[in-house]
Homo-oligomer: A and B are copies of this chain.
Amino acid sequence: MSETAERDARHKARMQRKKALIDEKIAQAQDEYGLLLVHSGNGKGKSSSAFGMVARALGHGIKVGVVQFIKGAASTGEETFFRRFPEEVSYHVMGEGFTWETQDRQRDIAKAQQAWAVARHLLSDESVGLVVLDELNIALKHGYLELDTVLADIEARPLLQHVVVTGRGALPGMIEAADTVTEMSLVKHAFKSGVKAQKGIEF
């Protein structure tokens, strides 16, 4: 083999190894990408399950962002607990919450938009591995946010970032976009037999 042919052969072999490596990395990237999980249904556990995933992520050293779209009025146990770790969890609750009762639709829309601006910021932060969009489905169902905008921002997130969307009444477009959809159904509920809401269980 001439010196040139030998150099060409070495080059070819190197390129082949490089291509194999790149192919492997592409395959890996396709295997390991951030999932969009939706928790819907009328049962309990939609938000709790998302917060369990927050604990799981923190156990793996993954940074988390949380935006609560509804429960702004009351301080929940999860909020109190996860705010203990400001370096690991970026926790946002929308002002005083929505105003289903007061019927001030323009104020609700403004608050939802503000909340979405915070969510978009988290969805563009590569250092955040898990984003919880708690009760987002409710804001979408009421038309306070546009589904197209929301899905576009979710689609544009960092490749490895996971997103969990909770709330009953997930729109068909959200279900379509999701990797995993879980429906929480109520089989039996103590409240129906007159037991009142319990701290640490319900709120």
* Residues in A lying within 8 Å of B, measured CB to CB: 31-35, 37, 39-41, 43-60, 62, 76-82, 129-130, 162, 175, 178-191, 193, 195-196, 198-201, 203
Contacts and interface: CB of A to CB of B under 8 A. Distances in A.
9 contacts: A33-B195, A45-B184, A48-B48, A60-B80, A162-B198, A180-B190, A180-B191, A182-B186, A185-B185
Contacts of A129: 200
A181 B60 CA distance: 30
A180 to B, nearest CB: 5
Given A179-B190, A196-B32, A201-B35, A81 B52 contact: no
Given A80-B59, A182-B187, A184-B182, A53 B200 contact: yes
Q: How many copies does the complex hold?
A: 2
Contacts of A44: 37, 49, 180, 182
Contact of A62 (B55, B182, B200): B200
A141 to B, nearest CB: 17
A199 B53 contact: no
B201 A187 contact: no
B45 A39 contact: yes
A56 B35 contact: no
A99 B37 CA distance: 31
A80 B60 CA distance: 8
Given A56-B201, A130-B201, 12 more contacts: A39-B45, A50-B52, A55-B82, A56-B78, A58-B77, A59-B80, A62-B200, A162-B198, A179-B189, A181-B186, A182-B187, A184-B184
